Amino acid sequence: MEATQQYAVGWGTLALINSGLAQGKGRSGLNWFLLSLFLGPIATFVLVAFYEPLER
């Protein structure tokens, strides 16, 4: 696998992980997936550091 392909696979995997984190906190997984495609690790940091789980 070429380095660029590995980078893209890793970035996509991170977006899926962020989607799961967001859903676990009661937020929209799709919105966070799309945001993560643009912001990547920054979105992960924001989601983990600043967002508390919503009460259901």
Other C-beta atoms within 10 Å of 15: how many?
20
Instruction: Please determine, for residue 56, whether its predicted confidence score (pLDDT) is greater than 90.
Output: no
Task: Record the tokens describing residue 9, joined without a space.
Answer: 């696979």
Residue 1 pLDDT: 80
The answer to whether the beta carbons of residues 54 and 27 sit under 8 Å apart is: yes
Residue 40 pLDDT: 92
Q: Strand, helix or coil at 51?
A: coil
Residue 55 pLDDT: 81
Residues in Cβ contact with 2 at an 8 Å cutoff, skipping those fewer than 6 apart: none
Q: What is the pLDDT of residues 4-55, one digit of tens each?
A: 999 999 999 999 999 999 999 999 999 999 999 999 999 999 999 998 888 8
The answer to whether the beta carbons of residues 11 and 40 sit under 8 Å apart is: yes
